[in-house]
Structure 1
Amino acid sequence: MKPLNNVNGKNDVKNKAEEAPKAEHEKIDFSKVKIEPLFEDTVDFDTFSKSDFRAVKVLACEAVPKSKKLLKFTLDDGERKDRVILSGIHEYYEPEELVGKTCIAIVNLPPKKMMGIDSCGMLISAVHEEEGEEKLHLLMVDDHIPAGAKLY
């Protein structure tokens, strides 16, 4: 039996690498970006080292009822606990697009009650202004990084 892609006795199977279009890096014009000034105060190393930054996996994400800004994240923090963190990023992301992503969080902040829900940490985002409009990007990292991996 001949393969379906055999034409004139020749096998036309191409290497998958040849078929796949080459990913080109999108060029971004940063000339219109305004960055908030850096803090002039310094933090000593001992104070900084008390901050526990971890990779977290988004298990679930949903809009918080009666809030336009808040998303409720249920996260795997590496200890197999379902850590809940609220983040005011609904203007920038829909909950369903974040499920399964690997993000960065600071996990040793004291719980803060928002809209009646304890938020146990903070997800880290990058914020800047572009043409008078605030832009926010939730920091997401390679999915090969396991939940609970510590950042230094």
Structure 2
Amino acid sequence: MTFVECGVLFPTMKSLDAPKKSGAAEEATGFFTPNSQIDFSNVAIEPLFEEQVDFETFSKSDFRAVKVKACQAVPKSKKLLQFTLDDGTGTDRTILSGIHEFYEPEELVGKTLVAITNLPPRAMMGIESCGMLLSAVNNLKDSDGEELHLLMIDNHIPAGAKLY
């Protein structure tokens, strides 16, 4: 496909034969890594809860897409990261999360995450946290260790989008 302007042809699409780029950031997240290439053999999954939650209770949770505008380590804390988030309201939201063992702040800036936004504010280390970021956690087999993966979603999803 081409675009004609002043009698000159300008290509507007990449060749179908062009090699696909696979950036380090994409590989680091595992977002585009096929399941068949990930080793899950050392993962122990917790059993599902037996207690059920009725739909009315579940539907009270407000899950939203949030964009990470800034992230920094909380001074005097080994675990806490302080996130400044765009939640679509036009006012920055602060959420603290104890995930510093698993992530460095600078690698999270620009990511789109999932947050529960209607939890009551909670003060930690003198900073008010207004919500909770969702993560997947699993234990490692034959170990006391665990892995944590912050839920990151497609950056095309706008800040504030309600998740169901």
1:22 CA displacement: 7.5
The amino acid that maps onto 1:141 is I
Counterparts of 2:150 and 2:39, CA distance in 1: 20
- In the comparison of the two structures, how many residue pairs are matched? 138
Equivalence for 1:123: 133
With normalisation by structure 2, the TM-score equals 0.79
| Runs of 4+ that moved beyond 6 A | none
Structure 1 or 2, whichever has the larger Rg, is 1
1:28 CA displacement: 1.4
With normalisation by structure 1, the TM-score equals 0.85
Counterparts of 2:111 and 2:124, CA distance in 1: 23
Uncovered stretches (5+) of structure 1, i.e. residues with no partner: 1-14
Uncovered stretches (5+) of structure 2, i.e. residues with no partner: 1-13, 23-32
Equivalence for 1:20: 19
Aligned-residue Cα RMSD (Å) equals 1.6
Equivalence for 1:49: 59
Distance 1:93 1:19, change over 3 A: same
Percent identity of paired positions between Structure 1 and Structure 2: 70
Which of the residues 114, 128, 144 maps onto 1:104? 114
Equivalence for 2:163: 151
Counterparts of 2:158 and 2:102, CA distance in 1: 25
Which of the residues 34, 43, 55 maps onto 2:44? 34
Structure 2 residue 147 is matched with structure 1 residue 135: yes
